Amino acid sequence: MALINFLKPKNKLEEGGRTAAPVHEDEGEPEKKCPNCHKDIPLSRLWSNGLVCTCGYHFRMKARQRIHMVTDKGSFQELFSSVKSGNPLLFPGYGEKLETMRSASGEEEAVICGEAQIGRQKCCIFVMDSYFMMGSMGSAVGEKIASLFEYAADHRMPVIGWTVSGGARMQEGLLSLMQMAKTSAAIKKHSDAGLFYIVVLTNPTTGGVTASFAMEGDIILAEPGATVGFAGARVIEQTTKKSLPKGFQTAEFVLNHGFIDSIVPRREQRKLLAELLKMHRGG
């Protein structure tokens, strides 16, 4: 129940506003503990700050909230919303799991695609949703992302994507693995047409998504503290029997190792993306 309450819109920001409106803090308002600074933060304050704690910790965010936060008001038009995964392998429990996820998250799949404007510049966007099976990539996620890049190539538009994913959706077996190749092929086509793709890695971006479209942007950004990696940390520990270095597989770690361009806090993304789009106008 607590989680459901947390998901409900609480203020202007969540409903689509972007400015930090003055916060009216009620007595006894629900609070959320920050896993980083361990302070209790009133939810309304958290929302008005884009779900970022005063200590800088970035809480996870639903895809639609992110779309409202980053795009020009009223500019978002959803595409391919009718594409859904089935249960092609008749994997035990997967059909039920999809139904539960759909009713709990209010979304049909783990990614939302569409056309929007950011700083009055047109672009295609995709935003993955960690509330839907931890953003795992099945056939529908691959299909929607590949379709979006094809659409963007046809209309000569840039693409901006936000990733969050535990990896491939194993309940779809090999079909989910093939989505890595399918999305990569569509991105290559878009790229070869001279078009621009920015990807923003959010917490966590791992597995098959890291090994495909998360690492294929012309510019790769990440949110502070986001986990970014290929193999799961626990699996690495078990395989190598070594303890992992501090800060392993964080956005800062991949930045230091040369795999991303920059770390950009959530509240600063809109401005930077608008600037980058402006510099790549016509691409």
Partner 1 sequence: MGQNPYDRVKLARDNSRPTGLDYIKNIFQGFIELHGDRRFGDDAAIVGGLAYLNKSPVTVIAIEKGHSAKERAMRNFGAPHPEGYRKALRLMKQAEKFGRPVICFIDTSGAYCGIGAEERGQGQAIAENLMEMTTLCVPIVSLLVGEGGSGGALALAVADRVWMLKNSVYSVISPEGCASILWKDPSKAPAAAASLKLTAEDAKSLGIVERILPEKDLGTKAFYERIRALLSEEIGKLSKNPDLIEKRYERFRRMGAVTEFDIASAATWPVACGNKGINYEHL
Residues that bind partner 1 (CB under 8 A): 82-86, 88-93, 108, 138-140, 142-143, 146, 168, 170, 172-182, 184-189, 191-192, 207-208, 210-216, 229-232, 235-236, 239-240, 242, 244-245, 248-249, 253-254, 257-259
- What's the closest the beta carbon of residue 106 comes to partner 1, in angstroms? 15
- What's the closest the beta carbon of residue 159 comes to partner 1, in angstroms? 14
Nearer to partner 1, 55 or 181 (CB): 181
Query: Which residues, 6 or more positions from 107, have their beta carbon under 8 angstroms from its beta carbon?
Result: 63, 64, 101, 129, 131, 132
Nearer to partner 1, 59 or 197 (CB): 197
Distance CA(119)–CA(75), nearest Å, equals 10
- What's the closest the beta carbon of residue 269 comes to partner 1, in angstroms? 22
Distance CA(199)–CA(68), nearest Å, equals 17
Distance CA(205)–CA(166), nearest Å, equals 7
Query: Which amino acid makes up residue 259?
Result: F
Q: What are phi and psi of 141, to 5 degrees?
A: -60, -45
Nearer to partner 1, 20 or 83 (CB): 83
- What's the closest the beta carbon of residue 204 comes to partner 1, in angstroms? 12
Nearer to partner 1, 48 or 205 (CB): 205
Distance CA(72)–CA(106), nearest Å, equals 23
Q: Is the peptide bond before 204 cis (omega within 30 degrees of 0)?
A: yes
Structural contact between residues 168 and 232, judged by C-beta atoms closer than 8 angstroms: no
Query: How crowded is the C-beta side of 211, counted as CA atoms within 13 Å?
Result: 15
Structural contact between residues 179 and 211, judged by C-beta atoms closer than 8 angstroms: no
Nearer to partner 1, 47 or 197 (CB): 197
- What's the closest the beta carbon of residue 43 comes to partner 1, in angstroms? 31
Three-state DSSP at 167 gives: coil
Nearer to partner 1, 108 or 115 (CB): 108
Distance CA(166)–CA(129), nearest Å, equals 11
Backbone dihedral region for residue 50 (phi beyond 0: left; psi -120 to 50: alpha; all else: beta)? left
Distance CA(126)–CA(119), nearest Å, equals 17
- What's the closest the beta carbon of residue 27 comes to partner 1, in angstroms? 42
- What's the closest the beta carbon of residue 188 comes to partner 1, in angstroms? 5
